[in-house]
Amino acid sequence: MRRVAQVIAVHPERLDEYRELHRRVPEPVLNRLRHCHIANYSIHLLGDRLFSYFEYHGDDLAADLALMAEDEATQRWWKLTAPCQVPVPEAAPGEWWATAEQVFLME
């Protein structure tokens, strides 16, 4: 299992919209996440920053993320959520959600 933590900013004027969207995530989007071996997925908000955490239980995260990006339901979902988000300055070129470095773990 691989732990993944990511950060992105949210436009302050779209916070309520972002919260509302996540009160009703479409079931096909959730099913695609599961199909791509993603579990224990959560998104947290602090100020204008979103922090996501998920556990990846597959063998090829890049391939599973590519499969997810090809999914029509996921593409429709991203068209709703993307306008609410803006990459943080720490994001690598071409990176939407910036991946955070794990510096501590207690199990």
- DSSP string for 24-40: S--HHHHHHHHHTTEEE
Superfamily (CATH) of domain 2-99: Dimeric alpha+beta barrel. (3.30.70.1090)
C-beta separation of 74 from 68 below 8 A: yes
**Would the pTM of this model clear 0.75, i.e. be above it?**
yes
pLDDT, one tens digit per residue, over 41-85 is 999 999 999 999 999 999 999 999 999 999 999 999 999 999 999
